A and B are shown apart, each in its own frame.
Chain A
Amino acid sequence: MKRTILWVPLALFGLFFGIVAYGLINPADRTIESKMIGKPLPQFALPAAYDGRPALASADFGKGEPRLLNVFASWCLPCIAEAPVLEGMAKQGVPIDAIAIRDKPEDVAAFLRRNGNPYQRIGSDVKSSVQLAMGSSGVPETFVIDGKGVIRYQHVGDIRPEHVPTILEELRKAR
């Protein structure tokens, strides 16, 4: 009995070491998922982000067809990486609207000139208020809004070609 008790501290140390090593090797997933999925899009009416596209309001959604809502910014590098992928989806006929976060009209215009413009409407959210209302925590993020105006799916980070099938499938389900 006494003998086995002597090993307890070492066993505890081993356990502690194991937990720490596990945490170091597999870092926790720090993605923050919006809790708004399954809920209606919050009410908003944003002014146009630049003069090339109309303004965006929550009333533009829920008209029977699912739409993508992309949260982006001209100052965001991963947004450049995702631009051609969004353009590809727009060419396939996917309706995409956008919210530009903390952006100036001239910067938005320059960004779209350089990287392509897959958007039908772009709203300007200078105080990130709509972003916060949607439970979004960064740029870029993309939401699938169904034909009734309910948020169905959230993609955090830039959309890469390998993510497209999932997003198209979510759009189909949201029909």
Chain B
Amino acid sequence: MRALLALLLMTASVAAWADSTMPAAELADTQLRDPKQEAKAVALMETLRCVVCQGQSIADSDAEIAGDMRAMVRERIQKGESPEQIRAWMVERYGEWVSYKPGFSAGTAPLWIAPLLLLAGGIWLARGRLRTRKKN
């Protein structure tokens, strides 16, 4: 019981130091006026990884830095930058890691090739099975 309480208190303090007293940036949670620009911004936000809560996109995350990243994305889209320009800017700073849309490189090749290999293997196995069944 006491251990549980201690654990609860610990999680509370972690949440406490993660937040500033400042309100979210203007465009963090406010849509852009132009629905086309907003759609572009949202599509990009859904494929950028939050740098603190690492399993979430910045569109999903409640972390303050994710809010600041959303505000930055919207500001730049509003200024006429393309989503891919903004993605490249983020990748330049945080590495491929920050993007949920991996490109094709030596490092990411297994990611793209493995499913094809597995599918080919599956077809080959199934073919063998079907053949033996026919013989019976």
Contacts and interface: CB of A to CB of B under 8 A. Distances in A.
Interface of A: 30, 32-36, 73, 75-78, 101-104, 107, 126-129, 131-135, 137-138
B51 A73 contact: no
Interface in B53-108: 54, 64-65, 68-69, 71-72, 90-95, 97
B17 interface: yes
A137 B52 contact: yes
Given A35-B91, A126-B25, A133-B93, 18 more contacts: A32-B54, A33-B95, A35-B94, A75-B21, A77-B13, A77-B16, A101-B20, A102-B22, A128-B64, A128-B68, A131-B65, A132-B65, A132-B68, A132-B90, A132-B93, A135-B94, A137-B51, A137-B65
30 contacts: A32-B54, A34-B93, A34-B94, A35-B91, A35-B93, A35-B94, A36-B92, A36-B93, A75-B17, A75-B19, A77-B13, A77-B17, A102-B20, A102-B64, A103-B22, A104-B21, A104-B22, A107-B21, A127-B72, A128-B68, A131-B65, A132-B68, A132-B72, A132-B90, A132-B93, A137-B51, A137-B52, A137-B65, A138-B52, A138-B65
Interface range, B side: 20 to 34
A21 B78 CA distance: 48
A127 B25 contact: yes
B66 to A, nearest CB: 10
A78 B17 contact: yes
Q: Name the 3 nearest CB pairs between A and B, nearest first.
A: A135-B93, A137-B51, A102-B20
A102 B18 CA distance: 12
A126 B25 CA distance: 8
Contacts of B16: 77
A103 B72 contact: no
A128 B94 contact: no
Contact of B95 (A35, A102, A128): A35
Contact of A32 (B19, B64, B91, B94): B94
A101 B54 CA distance: 20
Nearest to A133: B93
